[in-house]
Chain A
Amino acid sequence: MMEQKCIGKVTATESKPTTCTSVYFWLSPDVIIRPFDLVRIEHISGDGSGKSYSYAIVRELSYITDSAGHLANYVSSDFGDITAQPMNERLGTTIAEADVLGNNRNIEMPIRDGARVEWAGPDEIRDALGVANLQQPIPGGYIQTSNKEEIRIDFEARYLVGPEAAHMNISGISGLASKTSYAMFLLSALQQRMPNDVSIILFNVKGPDLLAIDQPSTSLSDAQKDEWHKCGLDPEPLENVTYLYPYAKRQERCFTSSHAPKDVIEAQIQQDRAFNYYYDVETFKGGEAGNETDVGRDKMSLLFSDIDDPQSTMESCIQELGDIQAETWDKLREEIRAKTAKGQAGPKEIPVQSWRKFSRLIRTRTTHDVFSSLWPGEGRRQKLVVDAIKELRPGKILVVDIAPLPDYLQCLVFGDVIRTVFDAKLDLYESINREDLGRVVVFADELNKYAPSSTGSRDRTLTRWLLEVTERGRSLGVVLFGAEQFRSGIHSRVLGNCSTDVFGRTNPVELSKAADYKLFSQSNRSTVTRLNQGQMLLQHSVFNTSLIKVRFPYPAYRQLQG
């Protein structure tokens, strides 16, 4: 291996010895280095001939001087004269503290004092980080080292979308963390690298952000395109996208309440890629032949997932719905109302008071236009969610717009999609062949709405479903990519099942609240509060280090403004 320029030497002292996992080195005064840079360090060889190289990632930098204390520096300025100009520069040096990642001859002995420290080359860095020789690499960004190297960082597909491990979580504060941009970059990478294996469902949760993801960005500069190339990807928008908008009785708005510009929707309709989803009564009673009837009933409870039901009376009411004969929402509401009258015939397991509460809630929560029946003709482009999922295939993307819906309806739609995909993968739908869907990646922003951290009481329906998806999904091929502002707001088991974690910029309050950040080193904690847009810290099962700081490219699709 060629000898590189020496940038420093290892220092091992009585109080700070080198260990199998950590090493300290002082730096030549002209060297600029930063945390997350990778270095190689000369080490002994096992057979006594030649030498081996250990690789280490810089964790912390400190500058030390021989000053015995701050007071010595005060005295050194003529006892506090701020205009004093010292004739002598105090003896000092930068000490780097680094985590040892491995050794090219598998030597695990602590590195010796005085060992040469050099920059690691690109191939060595990939090897040291554990991202070389992956079976199916999925680009996750690239790192920039202080010596001007740019190295692609890959995820291993088996650990990103299953079956070995799966699920990803992205966290970071709004506006600065670029969570959605990173998720879209990764989905683009999956579509480009695994077009025959992965299908994607994503939810548009705010404004019209993700409603033109198949249109190219017109503002992408050459430098931004070059960033895509550094990741081994083409700077292209996503392909094969179908949009599902919430149905509304607004003919002038293409029968949807979506925030997407009308011309965008019209263009998508022309290409037969935009539909309006709705909920008919049958959906909640078991939409089609097969054994999914109970599934439909479960979905009704999503409408009330934000309402406490300690006695499970609402759950009982929902179970009773199966016996109600109704084909329209008006008829259903009428039938339920009928149960609120005194003197009901038959067994009275559910008190009238409970039916009254249930009736009241059903009335208020099913007034949205999305609760509709199928209208004749194709002008309204109505589609049931289950039908849209039936048509999902590897390489295709389904965008579900839930931005215009109130929170409880967002939960309903999200839960419905997740449950339908999960049930399809469990072969509960006769009309869906689970193999046809491929591995389904579901991306949802604002995960805290759907899987909030446990409060001690019983988890609500949607959270329970998400737990099931994250615990069993990797083997079935249902993968959740979630994003949220604060990790502390997410159910710990949902987070715990993620094999990949992406950390965007966050604030110190969150650092003190979320348990995961407590395991970060002090410098990493500091880094995560200072990340720029376009930078993320990655944690992935196959990496040899706990965190890698990467850059990722600017979105290549058209971002609609709200």
Chain B
Amino acid sequence: MKRLISILRESNIDCLPNERFTLDVQMFPENGEEHSFPKQVMFERPKLENGKKPVPEAQDSMFHFFLDGSERSHRVIDASFGSHYLPICAGQIGVAVLEREDFRHIVPRRDFTRVENIIAVPDILDDDYAMSLERKINQEMPASDHFRVVRYDCQNKTDKDPADLGRAMIIHEMQMLELRTIKEMIALHAIRDDRMLVKDGGLQYRTTKIRNLDLKDDRVQLRNVIGLAKTFKPNMTLGRGRGRQDLGNLTKNLNWKERTTVISPDKDEFSTHGWWYLRLRPREKVYSPLQGIVKIEVFASDSEKDNDGIAEERADTISSYVLLERNVTPYNADSRWASHIYPIYLAESYLRSSFLSHERFKALII
């Protein structure tokens, strides 16, 4: 079997292996697209008086599917393209979906789980060239190790490190894979009101990505997709004037089983989703006031957009479902255990075990 670098050289690309192959490994970039909004507003109807409230206890949960998307990318090769000397990045992206059956038993959904190898080349190479390169690579590789070639924009963003651009392209592909999987699950009616999907990380996809999904009437099912983020930026400012305060201040005062009010970017920005924070673990049992807090994100329904806020009952119900997920925990097995829910942890583990090892992946390339 030929290695990728040999195939590139045979395609007249002058390239050298990058010695920093291992430096860019990041397994769980769930905040890869964490946006920084200049202004944020309350987005809950009716308005929550104290900015927080206890979450009612639920007996059962409608959370049925759990999705995790991950990528592992590397700057693998530096190559000369005419007068340019640019990196080629490679990575593995994947999405895993687990289903919770009756009796709390969790099983993988192989039909919704997929892993892909990606090479990101600079867009100095045109689309046709990239396609032919992909064909050539896959002719030489066994079917299980095929690559998809994508192009990253290095010509319009000259102020950025091209390796970051390459990696961002791979992350973008991972997000698109997540969204395509969600679309497929909606199309197959897997996601329903009583079979909701919980996705690891936020839902702050760019509007264009959602629009490109072309969900048409199925778009209504997006209300059954929940995003759970384990980390957030506590210095984000909420509100205006005297009432404004940083998120850290708001969340640190949350008691166990309490949530904040729903927040949204200012309507002028993205108004299609809202988020809030929930304390999953007793405050006195964790090391820092911000540990054990999870960020819950939802898409706003059309009526909620029209009424200027996520309905309080909906936020309560979803919060109570999330609260139910607090046990069991990956305590001591994952440093983020306090804000992790177990099915997502399993989805991560399952996906990680589906990826090629670092050594094996490197051996495909150089």
| Residues of A participating in the B interface, judged by any CB pair closer than 8 Å | 66-69, 71-73, 75-79, 84-91
Contacts and interface: CB of A to CB of B under 8 A. Distances in A.
B103 interface: yes
Contact of B333 (A68, A85, A87): A68
Contact of A72 (B103, B324, B329): B329
A75 B326 CA distance: 10
Contacts of A90: 328, 342
Interface string B53-79: 000000001000000000000000000
Nearest to A85: B327
A88 B106 contact: yes
Residues of B contacting A: mostly:
loop
Contacts of A78: 282, 326-327
B327 A72 contact: no
A76 B328 contact: yes
A87 B104 contact: yes
Given A89-B103, A89-B104, A68 B327 contact: no
Nearest to A91: B346
Given A68-B333, A69-B332, A71-B331, A87 B324 contact: yes
B344 to A, nearest CB: 10
A91 B325 CA distance: 15
14 contacts: A72-B329, A75-B331, A76-B327, A78-B327, A84-B327, A86-B328, A87-B61, A87-B104, A87-B324, A88-B100, A88-B104, A89-B104, A89-B106, A89-B328
Q: Identify the interface centre among A71, A77, A89: most chain B CB within 10 Å of its CB.
A: A89
Contacts of A84: 327
A75 B329 contact: yes
B328 A88 contact: yes
Given A78-B326, A87-B104, A89-B104, A72 B342 contact: no
Contacts of A72: 328-333
A91 B106 contact: yes
10 nearest CB pairs, A to B: A68-B332, A76-B328, A86-B327, A72-B331, A89-B104, A68-B333, A75-B331, A87-B324, A88-B342, A90-B328
Contacts of B104: 86-89
A77 B349 contact: no
Nearest to B256: A78
A66 B343 CA distance: 12
A66 B330 contact: yes
A16 to B, nearest CB: 17
Given A86-B104, A90-B328, 18 more contacts: A66-B330, A67-B333, A68-B332, A69-B332, A71-B332, A72-B328, A72-B331, A72-B332, A76-B328, A77-B327, A84-B327, A85-B327, A87-B324, A87-B327, A88-B325, A89-B105, A89-B106, A91-B106
Interface in B159-211: none
A66 B337 CA distance: 13
A77 B315 CA distance: 25
B285 interface: yes
Contacts of B337: 75
Given A68-B331, A87-B327, A79 B282 contact: yes
Contacts of B329: 72, 75-76
Contacts of B103: 89
Nearest to B105: A89
A79 B325 CA distance: 15
A75 B333 CA distance: 12
Q: Identify the interface centre among A69, A75, A85, A88: most chain B CB within 10 Å of its CB.
A: A88
A69 B285 CA distance: 17
Nearest to A69: B332
A76 B106 contact: no
A73 B332 CA distance: 10
Contacts of A69: 332
Contacts of A76: 327-329, 331
Interface in B295-353: 324-333, 337, 341-343, 346, 349
A88 B332 contact: no
A88 to B, nearest CB: 4
A48 to B, nearest CB: 21
B195 to A, nearest CB: 15
Contacts of B326: 78, 87
B325 A87 contact: yes
Nearest to B321: A87
Contacts of B327: 76-78, 84-88
B56 to A, nearest CB: 16
Contacts of A73: 328
Contacts of B324: 87
Contacts of B341: 88
A79 B281 CA distance: 9
A75 B291 CA distance: 15
A86 B331 CA distance: 14
B101 to A, nearest CB: 9
B141 to A, nearest CB: 24
Contacts of A91: 106, 346, 349
B294 to A, nearest CB: 14
B226 to A, nearest CB: 15
Interface in B347-362: 349
A66 B333 contact: yes
B228 to A, nearest CB: 14
A90 B105 CA distance: 8
A75 B342 CA distance: 13
Nearest to A76: B328
Contact of A79 (B285, B332, B333, B343): B285
A72 B325 CA distance: 15
Nearest to B100: A88
Nearest to B345: A66
B126 to A, nearest CB: 44
Contacts of B333: 66-68, 72
B266 to A, nearest CB: 36
Nearest to A89: B104
Contacts of B100: 88
Nearest to B343: A88
Contacts of A79: 282, 285
A72 B331 CA distance: 5
B109 to A, nearest CB: 16
A69 B330 CA distance: 10
B16 to A, nearest CB: 34
A195 to B, nearest CB: 59
A68 B334 CA distance: 9
Contacts of A86: 104, 327-328
Nearest to A73: B328
B52 to A, nearest CB: 21
B144 to A, nearest CB: 16
A86 B100 CA distance: 13
A69 B329 CA distance: 11
Contacts of B331: 68, 71-72, 75-76
A234 to B, nearest CB: 49
A66 B340 CA distance: 15
A71 B330 CA distance: 11
Q: Identify the interface centre among B61, B328, B332: most chain A CB within 10 Å of its CB.
A: B328
Nearest to A88: B342
A29 B260 CA distance: 41
Contacts of A89: 103-106, 328
A89 B331 CA distance: 15
Interface string B265-289: 0000000000000000010010000
A71 B285 CA distance: 13
